[in-house]
């Protein structure tokens, strides 16, 4: 059996990371979605999340990957959605990202749990400007719009 080179291992980990992100509606995905495709919408962010069914999945913890995600998310949105979901799924998150977050193991583990391990299996995303609902079914958000919207 041939061992993977360091380059192949990094490539596999990065692509595997991207693949499982796309499989389910995670809070990281919620944080980057917008309803700006609707004609009457100017911002369309953040979408309100109404989760009916949640599932916690185990995802390998990689502090470097989580640290790279933090600048890409709007932390106040992550915090508000986590508060709505409840501490049963996501432990209490800090109000703001710590200054030294990349070295703060406790924070990175909380962020990992919030952004990557909680799957919204069934629910609805609601546009903040129009109230248009986008369904989430089997963990997949349907963001398609009709021709006239």
Q: Which of 48, 107, 37, 123 is nearest to 83 (CA)?
A: 48
Residue the block writes with tokens 């962020």: 111
The structural domains of the chain, ordered by start, are 25-141 (2.20.25.10)
Q: Which residue has the higher pLDDT, 25 or 103?
A: 103
Residue 39: is its pLDDT beyond 90?
A: no
Residue the block writes with tokens 């995600």: 69
Residue the block writes with tokens 């909380």: 110
Residue 129: is its pLDDT beyond 80?
A: yes
Residue 140: is its pLDDT beyond 80?
A: yes
Beta bridge pairs of residue 51: 123
pLDDT at 23: 58
Residue 1 has which token pair?
């059996």
Q: Which of 45, 74, 69 is nearest to 143 (CA)?
A: 45
Alpha-carbon gap, residue 46 to 61, rounded angstroms: 26
Could you tell me the pTM of the whole model? 0.80
Residue 60 has which token pair?
């390998």
pLDDT at 133: 96
Beta-sheet strands, E only, within the chain: 25-26, 48-56, 118-126, 133-137, 140-141
For residue 3, count other CB atoms closer than 10 A to its CB. 7
What angle is formed at CA 88 by the lines to CA 84 and CA 90, rounded to 5 degrees?
65
The answer, yes or no, to whether the previous bond of 89 is cis (omega within 30 of 0) is no
Contacts of residue 142, Cβ cutoff 8 Å, sequence gap at least 6? 134, 135, 136
Alpha-carbon gap, residue 78 to 21, rounded angstroms: 16
């Amino acid at each position: 059996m041939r061992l993977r080179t360091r380059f192949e291992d990094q490539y596999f980990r990065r692509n595997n990371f991207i693949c499982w992100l796309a499989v389910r509606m995670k809070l990281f995905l919620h944080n980057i979605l917008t309803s700006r495709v609707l004609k009457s919408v100017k911002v369309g962010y953040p979408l309100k999340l109404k989760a009916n069914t949640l599932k916690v999945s185990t995802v390998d913890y990689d502090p470097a990957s989580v640290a790279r995600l933090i600048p890409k998310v709007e932390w106040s949105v992550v915090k508000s959605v986590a508060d709505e979901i409840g501490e049963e799924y996501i432990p209490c998150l800090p109000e703001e990202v710590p200054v030294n977050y990349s070295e703060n193991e406790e924070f990175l583990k909380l962020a990992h749990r919030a952004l990557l391990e909680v799957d919204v299996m069934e629910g609805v995303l609601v546009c903040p400007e129009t109230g248009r609902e986008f369904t989430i079914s089997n963990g997949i958000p349907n963001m398609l719009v009709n021709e006239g919207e």
